[in-house]
Amino acid sequence: MDEQTTDAIRRVHQDGFTILEGVIPSDRVDGVRAAVVDAQLRIRERSAAEQAAIRAKGHRVGVEGVAGSRGIVNHTQAFAPWLAESRIMNVSHAFFGDHVRISCTDCVINQPGCGRGYWHADWPYNQTNASHIPVPYPDALLHLATIWMLTDFTPENGGTLLVPGSHRYEGNPSADNMGGIDRDAPYPTEFHAVGSAGSVLLYDSRMWHAVPPNRSDADRVALIVRFAPWWLNLEPTRPGSPEHTAMVIETDGKNYAQPEVTPQAYAALPDDVKPMYRHWVAAEG
Ligand SMILES: O=C(O)CCC(=O)C(=O)O
């Protein structure tokens, strides 16, 4: 195994995260960002309506001033040539073995003045999701999250807020068992994940993290891509599946959800990326 992969694995084990620089080459990242922003603008209204509907049920979702869209891979594949980048694949395979699957391809645009989000871990550890592993959880990494920096991430524009080492705790502030930690307040050891456009923050989904405020005068643009082992049941995140209906619709809950990949989008993916989406392709017609 090469030195960079060994280092990345050690960091994810020990610190809960690592930052991989230059995943998207610097001379290509502007084009990728333009394609993602353009796709997001085309679907923005529907996303805002979805979020409003979940808030109307009394659930906490999203942050004011953050425009997000689920399943952006259906609307642009501009970033797809780098989804199977060797460092990301090496780390995913080291934790999960072969047959890694992509479980999420969203985008987020944090606009100037956007607020701070609450401390949470990602699905299936986020306790506010209708489908989640209840706390206290065993010490197991089940899902890897990545945040792709399509603009530079800085403390000013809001590099993702992290609590290093928090991935080994038995819970996170989205649960009520964390000894009264205020999920909306700054945490003493928090820090911003920063990097230049084209870098990827890769973290254990248990990691406590929060949407940062954007105090700059420009959008902070990112992709959220998650990698799951073949044995993690993703069905509760598939709208229309029996599990999603039982656990989310019938409980009036909120969940992390991911639209199926259209056959047209799937056909446009590079050959080395297709196997990671194959489980989520919608039926033809
Ligand atoms: O936008 C960010 O930096 C954090 C996003 C986040 O909290 C998440 O993907 O769960």
Position 180 scores a pLDDT of: 76
Which protein residue has the closest C-alpha to ligand 1 atom 4?
211
Give domain status of residue 52, yes or no: yes
Is it the case that residue 84 has pLDDT exceeding 90? yes
CATH code for the domain in which residue 40 is found: 2.60.120.620
Position 158 scores a pLDDT of: 94
Position 232 scores a pLDDT of: 97
- Ligand 1 near 194 CB (within 6 A): no
Atom of ligand 1 minimally distant from the CA of 158 = 3
Confidence of residue 131 (pLDDT cuts 50, 70, 90): confident
Residues 6+ apart with CB under 8 A from 86: 5
Q: Which residues partner with 223 through β-bridges?
A: 107, 148
Give domain status of residue 231, yes or no: yes
For the record, the structure tokens of 10 come out as 């050690």
Distance between CA atoms of 158 and 201, rounded to whole angstroms?
Answer: 13
Is it the case that residue 275 has pLDDT exceeding 80? yes
The residue-averaged pLDDT of 52-74 equals: 78
Please give the C-alpha separations between residue 75 and each of 31, 39, 101, 172, 247, in angstroms, as whole numbers.
15, 6, 19, 33, 28
Give domain status of residue 285, yes or no: no
Token pair 């195994």 in the structure block, residue: 1
The residue-averaged pLDDT of 100-112 equals: 97
**What is the per-residue pLDDT across 140-164, written as a single tens digit (0 to 9) for each?**
999 999 999 999 999 999 999 999 9
pTM of the model: 0.93
Please give the C-alpha separations between residue 162 and each of 158, 198, 206, 252, in angstroms, as whole numbers.
11, 19, 11, 30
For the record, the structure tokens of 100 come out as 């890694």
Could you tell me if 204 and 17 are in contact, meaning their C-beta atoms sit under 8 angstroms apart? yes
**What is the per-residue pLDDT across 34-46, written as a single tens digit (0 to 9) for each?**
999 999 988 876 6
More confident residue, 257 or 177: 257
Which protein residue has the closest C-alpha to ligand 1 atom 10?
122
Ligand 1 center to 96 CA (angstroms): 23
Give domain status of residue 246, yes or no: yes
**What is the per-residue pLDDT across 219-272, written as a single tens digit (0 to 9) for each?**
999 999 999 999 999 999 999 999 999 999 999 898 888 999 999 999 999 999
- Domain extent for 39: 3-280
- Ligand 1 near 160 CB (within 6 A): yes
Looking at residue 195, the DSSP 8-state letter turns out to be B
**Overall domain count for the chain:** 1
- Of the candidates 225, 253, 213, 172, the residue with the CA atom closest to the CA atom of residue 63: 213
Give domain status of residue 115, yes or no: yes
**What is the per-residue pLDDT across 184-202, written as a single tens digit (0 to 9) for each?**
999 999 999 999 999 999 9
Task: Show the 3-state SS of 223-239.
Answer: EEEEEECCCCCCHHHCC
Position 15 scores a pLDDT of: 97
- Of the candidates 52, 65, 106, the residue with the CA atom closest to the CA atom of residue 219: 65
